[in-house]
Structures are given as structure tokens and as C-alpha cells.
Amino acid sequence: MEIQNSNDNTMPLRMTRYRTDILLAHPGLPLRQHLIYIGREPLTMPDGIDLEKDTLDAMLHVLSVNRDLGERIREAEKTLTRIDIERDSLITDR
């Protein structure tokens, strides 16, 4: 449970981080998250993540730009494509 007294635009990502931290420390734990807002200002912080821009792919892109991981990501994409092709051929061969 999170008690928040001010609007925080990063709250959805923080709650996601809390969730992953807890589940990594306690695999299989049933988990429900709640946020109680007690601030004076009207509640304006987002209540979710925009998956169009906050996807893991988008985060990887930011990392690749900031850390020059472009070549490694291209290699990983090629490997994943090969795995998809091999998996698809196994399914169609059945």
C-alpha cells in the first residue's frame, strides 16, 4: 500500500518497480497494490502506463541510444527472428 500526499507523474512506473521488486523477492506471492492519495491538490497523476510509449521496446531503444547498444540489440533481434522462424516451422510440420 502506498500513501501519497502529492501528485507524482512517475507513480505508475514506481508502482511497477515496487511490484517487480516484491515478486522477485517473493515469487508466487499473491499481490494487490493500492495507492491512497491524501493530498490537498486535486488528484492529477496518471493511473496507468501508456503502452504506446512506455513499452520495454521503447525502454530498450532509449538504453541503446544512451549506451550505444544498437549492434547488440540488432544481434538479439536477429536471434529472436530465427527462433520465431524455427518455432513456426516446427508448428507447421506437425
Residues 39 and 56 in one domain: no
Residues 42 and 60 in one domain: no
pLDDT tens, 71-89?
A: 776 777 777 777 767 777 7
Q: Structurally, how many domains does the chain consist of?
A: 2
pLDDT of residue 77: 78
pLDDT of residue 70: 64
Distance CA 50, CA 82 (A): 30
Residues 44 and 54 in one domain: no
Q: Which of 45, 32, 33 is nearest to 5 (CA)?
A: 45
Question: How is 29-50 classified by DSSP, letter by letter?
Answer: ------EEE--SSPP-S-SS--
pLDDT of residue 52: 65
Distance CA 55, CA 68 (A): 19
Low pLDDT (below 50) residues in the chain: none
| Residues spanned by the domain of 4 | 1-49
Last residue of a domain, one of 34, 49, 64: 49
pLDDT of residue 79: 76
